[in-house]
Structure 1
Amino acid sequence: MKLVECVPNFSEGRNKRIIDEIVNEISSIEGIEILDISMGYETNRTVITFIGTPERVKEAAFLGIKKAVELIDMRKHKGAHPRIGAADVVPFIPLKNVSFEECIEIAKEVAKRVGEELRIPVYLYGKAATKPERENLANIREGEYEGLKEKLKSPEWKPDYGPSEFNPKSGATIIGVRDFLIAYNINLNTRETKYATDIAFELREKGRSVRKGNIKPFYYKGEIVRYKEDYFPCGNCDFIGKTIDETVKHCKEKHGYDLKELLKMHNIDPENPIGKPVKKPGKFKECKAIGWKIPEYDRVQISINLTNYKITNVHHVYEEAKKLADERGLTVTGSEIVGLIPYEAILEAGKYYLKKQGKSLGIPLKDILETAVQSLGLRDVSSFEIEKKVIGLPEIFKAELLNKKLIDFVDEISRESPSPGGGSVSALCASLASSLSLMVLNLSFDRIKNKRVREKFYEISDKLRELKESALLGIEKDKEAFEKYLKALKEKRDKKEALIEAIDVPLSIMEKSVEIVKISEFVLKSGMKSALSDIGYSFLNLYYSFYGAYMNV
């Protein structure tokens, strides 16, 4: 199945009735699943996350935009978040079996309908942008709603679709295609927005103007340094070029970034920057950040968009923000996810904090994710339920058999139905074996002084945990595969495909059992000697797991 995600941002966060009507329009399309609704009172903005097949998402997005422009009046809108229209920004994200090219076509089709049927100026951004300067959402939204009337008069800001006339009630809509974006806010123990902005400028890829003089503890208090004739400072070090090209070369060779591209981000002509502020980049790529005040929380936040979490993840910016806040006499009290966070992102954060604590990675998956939640302070100002806020959770979280009580599972096996049976029990034995090996590994972890062995334990603890979870999932998969095979027999249809699937599951359990044996041998040699009996039980379970699965095959 093809799956597309859509995350429309609407300029309304205070009137729940309006948001409910928009949500009802979106969910009126059969097959659409609403994953999250995040309303912000002070930002006066709501982010809705939904998924579905391409055609259904396309229709649902249009209906949501249509209802929003019907109900939201931008002439009355005030809020902390930058915005340009009622249906402010509508990105499409490929989730499963869908290419960016397909999403670009979806974006164009929706944009065309919005422009023609709703008579709203529409700009395409991100991977759907028609011009390089429109790739960056911030460039299109610069000047916001209040500056849109004048912006539309400029030929270079002619909309991609719809009229060039200003629509005072609805503003404009920005539609595009992007990778998964994490909307992430870091909380500070202050009500001063300028303090949050000072840190935000240090974090964001775009960076800030170079200043001199009174720059500690707050950099923004210094005097802005400007480019002059024969005076082109680097900003990161003491280098001063005689020409801009000298400084561009220096920045590339010594600091690894393209100064000309950085200047363009700030709308400065890199060929003639004289008189303009000297710029230096921030600490993180794929990171956008501003500071704002949220009276609802009685504090300010560093509002961050992470446009590629595989390059810059939440824990990277959180830890750096803590350091920068401390330098300024401030404290980071926690953080907040707006919308959803990918499973891979929060998993990596959990692993980072466990390793920082000197702890094994071989603990239950839920514990790893909870470590991330607690370490990032994700419940500081709002609730955070892993099952609701994390997208892409492994199947193990939803497996029916795995969520039964032990007594119910054992009773289920004993019933006269043929499944779950030996295959599921073999998978259970493999998961128990890996759990016992993990127990010994975790008990031994703090006692290991040898650095090489400790690093090896980090590596194998993560692998052993994955094998445990995979084996657990095999309990459910074996039952499902065998039931498919029985159904094929009953319906007297070609059973080859069902038979192959029914064989694949126990074969996989056999392979996992062998992998667990190899890892457990290392734990046996390097772990606590007082826990050898537990490793012995692990090997016994692996014996039953392997040969039980073998008999099923």
Structure 2
Amino acid sequence: MKKIVECVPNFSEGRDLAAIRQITDAIESVQGVQLLDVDPGESTNRTVVTFIGEPEPVAEAAFRAVQKAAELIDMSKHSGEHARFGATDVCPFVPVAGATMEDCVTIARAVGERIGEELGFPVYLYEHAARSPERCNLADVRSGEYEGLAKKLSDPDWKPDFGPAEFNSKAGATAVGAREFLIAYNINLNTTDRRYANEIAYELRERGRWKREGNTEPFYYKGNVVYFAEGRFPDGNSDFVAGSFEELAEHYRVEYGRDLYERYRSLGLDPADLTGRPVYKDGLFTHLKGIGWVVEDYQCAQISLNLTDYKVTPPQTVLEAARELAAQRGIVVTGSEVVGVVPFDAMNRAGRYYLQRMRKSTGIPARDLVTTAVQAMGLRDVADFDIEKKVIGLPSQDGSLANMKVTDFVDEVSRDTPAPGGGSIAALAGALGSALASMVFNLSVGKGEFDDRYKELCKWAEKAQQAKDQLIRAIDEDTEAFNEVVAAMRLPKDSPEQQAARAAAMQAGYKSAAKVPLRTARLCREVLDLCQAAADLGNDAVMSDAGVGALMALAGVQGALHNVRIN
């Protein structure tokens, strides 16, 4: 599986469209990079750019963009509403598909080092790429902003990770980091009252809300705010009242397993100076920011959310909590909206979540999983949701043979060319066998007599889907491998040197041509086990399908091994 990484640099220019275009042109000059979004803001004088690709081209495109921004943007003349300290203010790398956070940390540090060495201005690493806990938080790294950068650089504690500790008045400094994918996600309500959207947003978000008492049902915001007082320290989540903050913090640690000192510091409040300050009630979710607003184009209020780590706080869980909170207040959630793009992994998890709730099989094709999530979350309620455009890292079968019509593929095999041949047909046979095994498992799920085997059947069906997808890819891989042999055969052989080079190329080609069918044979052998499990566990009414699947898998094993021997 390819490693796909996202980069979301923020440039301190949102008004000069020609300059912005030059920066994005620099990004698109790198082959293998796909520019997804360019979002300039006039009031912030800032542009957020999003592009994806494999690690190496993304790293190169990021460097070229930073280089071009340093050339075009003069920070000494910059003004805007958003916090910033450099021409390229931040440059985060995000794992999307196949890539890990460790991969992104490696990329961030390499790009940061290159910026510091080749472009000669300060670079700070942040979030997962940071080398010390004090530099994880972007707000801390960027504190003082551009205007305070010269002073910051004179402080030994803020020596840059890369580049000189010298103030560059034109380029400023750049923060390069690695972070989780941020999903911008809105939940739609059947009201145009912003207060109702805020009411639910405040309950959901990590920041939480002021604790209130009195008239709080069904709308909490109508109650009276509770404040800390001398000798009176109420718990935000219960009726407990402590005599000191120390006592309250201990209660909070025991009851909720969290640090109350850190909680109030994160709100910008000093735990030693809370008298007269409002008490905060915890939100339901971590890694979640939210507020309510009204979108005139949609004629509805929305709960506007940023999920900063969807693996900890997934959108489907937040949505279901919002539905419950809305129902308690007589409000209806009509659907939801993804702003920008969303990783396949997030949609895959959501699809599985809803299928499990319905006791339906999770061992279905990837696109079916995504479609399930789209329908269950109402993602087409106010705007179109084009799966091809909105989902990053969506698994696909790109091979030309695999995408042919059945009749065209059969005709292609029948022609007077050596490929596609037996190896591709063996892979196809195995893929069909695995598909039949998956079908048996999926047809068994939901039948009353198989309820106690739900998880087991889903597990087997998922394995069958994985084997099927690998074997479909092998259809084209086998032909591509044999084409290497054909290409080697066509090399010149007039001189001893050419003959030696041709022989070496042919040997390498045959080696590759043997490896693919060997892998196909192993996969088909696994499919035989899947078909056996389908026969043992599945519905008797479809046992013939398990049998046909096994025969196809056996043909795949034997056919692939014939190709290994001849190659």
For the aligned pair, the TM-score class normalised by the smaller chain equals 0.7 to 0.9
1:104 maps to amino acid: R
Q: 1:335, 1:376 within 8 Å by CA — same for their partners in 2?
A: yes
Instruction: Give the superposition deviation at 1:500.
Output: 4.5
Equivalence for 1:429:
429
Instruction: Give the superposition deviation at 1:486.
Output: 4.3
Describe the superposition over 1:270-292 as per-residue Cα deviations: whole angstroms up to 9, x where unpaired: 34433333234322232233334
1:209 aligned to 2:207?
no
Equivalence for 2:201:
200
Instruction: Give the superposition deviation at 1:266.
Output: 0.4
Describe the superposition over 1:432-468 as per-residue Cα deviations: whole angstroms up to 9, x where unpaired: 1122222233333222334322221122122211121
Equivalence for 1:49:
51
Q: 2:109 aligns with which of 101, 104, 113?
A: 104
- In the alignment, the residues of structure 2 paired with residue 8 and residue 112 of structure 1 have an alpha-carbon distance, to the nearest angstrom, of 19
Cα 1:378–1:174 change in 2 (3 A) is farther
2:62 maps to amino acid: K
Q: 1:61, 1:110 within 8 Å by CA — same for their partners in 2?
A: no
Q: 1:92, 1:177 within 8 Å by CA — same for their partners in 2?
A: yes
Equivalence for 1:282:
283
Q: 1:481, 1:501 within 8 Å by CA — same for their partners in 2?
A: yes
- In the alignment, the residues of structure 1 paired with residue 120 and residue 199 of structure 2 have an alpha-carbon distance, to the nearest angstrom, of 39
- In the alignment, the residues of structure 2 paired with residue 272 and residue 497 of structure 1 have an alpha-carbon distance, to the nearest angstrom, of 73
- In the alignment, the residues of structure 2 paired with residue 412 and residue 70 of structure 1 have an alpha-carbon distance, to the nearest angstrom, of 59
Equivalence for 1:466:
466
Cα 1:279–1:318 change in 2 (3 A) is same
Equivalence for 1:549:
560
2:561 maps to amino acid: Y
Equivalence for 1:219:
220
Written as runs of structure 1 = structure 2, the 5 A alignment for 1:407-418 is 407-418=407-418
Equivalence for 2:493:
none
Cα 1:139–1:471 change in 2 (3 A) is same
Q: SS state of the match for residue 36, structure 2?
A: strand
Identity, in percent, stands at: 36
Equivalence for 2:182:
182
Written as runs of structure 1 = structure 2, the 5 A alignment for 1:288-437 is 288-394=289-395, 396-437=396-437
- In the alignment, the residues of structure 1 paired with residue 360 and residue 134 of structure 2 have an alpha-carbon distance, to the nearest angstrom, of 46
Written as runs of structure 1 = structure 2, the 5 A alignment for 1:124-163 is 125-127=126-128, 135-137=136-138
Cα 1:330–1:461 change in 2 (3 A) is same
- In the alignment, the residues of structure 2 paired with residue 349 and residue 3 of structure 1 have an alpha-carbon distance, to the nearest angstrom, of 20
Q: SS state of the match for residue 311, structure 1?
A: coil
Equivalence for 2:517:
506
Equivalence for 1:457:
457
Aligned length: 535
- In the alignment, the residues of structure 1 paired with residue 257 and residue 478 of structure 2 have an alpha-carbon distance, to the nearest angstrom, of 52
Cα 1:364–1:92 change in 2 (3 A) is closer
- In the alignment, the residues of structure 1 paired with residue 120 and residue 296 of structure 2 have an alpha-carbon distance, to the nearest angstrom, of 36
- In the alignment, the residues of structure 1 paired with residue 72 and residue 307 of structure 2 have an alpha-carbon distance, to the nearest angstrom, of 26
Structure whose CA Rg is larger: 2
TM-score of the aligned structures, taking structure 2 as reference length: 0.80
Written as runs of structure 1 = structure 2, the 5 A alignment for 1:244-255 is 244-255=245-256
- Aligned CA-pair RMSD: 4.0
Instruction: Give the superposition deviation at 1:353.
Output: 1.5
Instruction: Give the superposition deviation at 1:4.
Output: 5.4
Stretches of structure 2 that go unaligned for 5 or more consecutive residues are 491-501
Equivalence for 1:439:
439
The range that moved more, 311-320 or 277-286, is 277-286
Describe the superposition over 1:200-257 as per-residue Cα deviations: whole angstroms up to 9, x where unpaired: 2322233333222232333333323223333222222233233323322222222222
1:464 maps to amino acid: A
TM-score of the aligned structures, taking structure 1 as reference length: 0.82
Equivalence for 1:538:
549
Q: 1:188, 1:330 within 8 Å by CA — same for their partners in 2?
A: no
